[in-house]
Amino acid sequence: MSDDCSMEEVREEMDDILLLQWMASVAVHPPRGPRWHHNLLDWDEHVNQLMHEGWFVNEYRMSPSAHRQYLQRVEWNSHGSEPILVEHIIALGLRVLASGRVTDIRHIIGASRAAAYQAFDDFVDAVNSHPELDINFPTSIDEWREINDGFKAKSSEEIMEGCVGAIDGYFQCIQTPTKKEVGNVIAYYSGHYKSHGVNCQACVRGDFCFMYFGVVAPGSTNDNIYPLVSGLKSVVEALPTGMHCVADAAYTIQENLLIPFTGTEHLDEVHNSFNFYLSQLWIRIEMAFGRLTNKFRILKGCVLGLLDRVTSIIMACARLHNYIIQKDGPNDTMQEVAEGGDDPEFSIVPHSDAPLGMSYLPVIPNEDWGGFEGILYTRLGIVEYLRSNEIMRPLYNLARKQWEVMDDDGSENNLEWDDEYISPS
């Protein structure tokens, strides 16, 4: 009898233990309630409201006409499950790239958390896989000549004849990659910016459109990575006779790649003048990076996610950057708002870690950046033209350069690297 009681007590104790375990499990993972019905955004009403308020471009980074055309182009490659429409996917994608959070934007379009994240992934994949959004170099001499005309129009007195591209790199902060992803995690760490990141290289037209854009190397590298960027270097070296690209002095001198004079060489007045006229064209890449990071402000901070996904997000921003310029022009409504509109949210905001008020993080050269030697006959010909015609750097620009290297109190600003690298203009 005592044995039976003992067994009964054991059973009751076991039942109590199992009950406690079940209660603990429910507390950690409560049973899912009934599926919530999400009221999806009425897209037509939403557009009409934003058009009435004049806020469409600010919220979606492109004009309504460009947005409609993009809807038609991306629809075939959108995989969002019903009832989320293509309009909702694009609306969410654009607003997240503009610096919104998926968890916040999902409430605007009326989607569940999981569906919203899936919609954003679908959006990025659609942008990067659509052939009409590909970033390409010209394929004919007539296209190169058209680009040359665009740059020549930006050069005072059309002195810089033959330029067909401006090249530079920028540093994009990213989430620390895992060793499984990259092997050498430290290679992605920039001591200057105290952040993990990637080196992006690009070449632009005079209208800010990228002809090349790539996430090419870990963040600890600098612009000297250019010789290894085969898709860019091979095109520059094969440019038609008389044509060239421009870059800053961190790049290696080449006949098809003009760079400014540095060190004691730029103390020569004519060399200094050459730097000014070159910078009028090279600044187009600075302006393109500034436009890219100000329009898609997800790039202003640390882009989160696995490295492959981060790369996809960066590339999607670059491809949309081109699409918007092609449809709305280089001086679209968004730029007008950014450069002097009434809304402070969309003003051009300098990056806190960038030099001289830049809105993006330039790639920092190493200690050898100014040490390249060589003779560039194209550059020499331009210098001789400037010298024979006594064309010097304008006085207003000399005053600007003096201001750049001065602190607010008028004392000399001890910059971390040569000011000629920062702004040869």
Q: Does the reported pTM lie above 0.85?
A: no
Residue-level pLDDT at 39: 61
Residue-level pLDDT at 414: 52
- CB contact at 8 A, 178 and 235: no
Residue-level pLDDT at 30: 60
Q: Quickly state the pLDDT bin for 177 (edges 50, 70, 90).
A: very high
Share of the chain above pLDDT 70, in %: 68
Task: Please write down the HEC assignment for all residues of 315-341.
Answer: HHHHHHHHHHHHHHCCCCHHHHHHCCC
Q: Is the pLDDT of residue 353 over 50?
A: yes
| Segment holding 169, helix H or strand E | strand 163-173
* Residue in 218, 268, 215, 226 with CA at minimum distance from that of residue 249: 226
pLDDT in tens, 97-144: 998 888 888 887 778 888 889 889 999 999 999 899 999 999 999 999
Q: Quickly state the pLDDT bin for 348 (edges 50, 70, 90).
A: very low
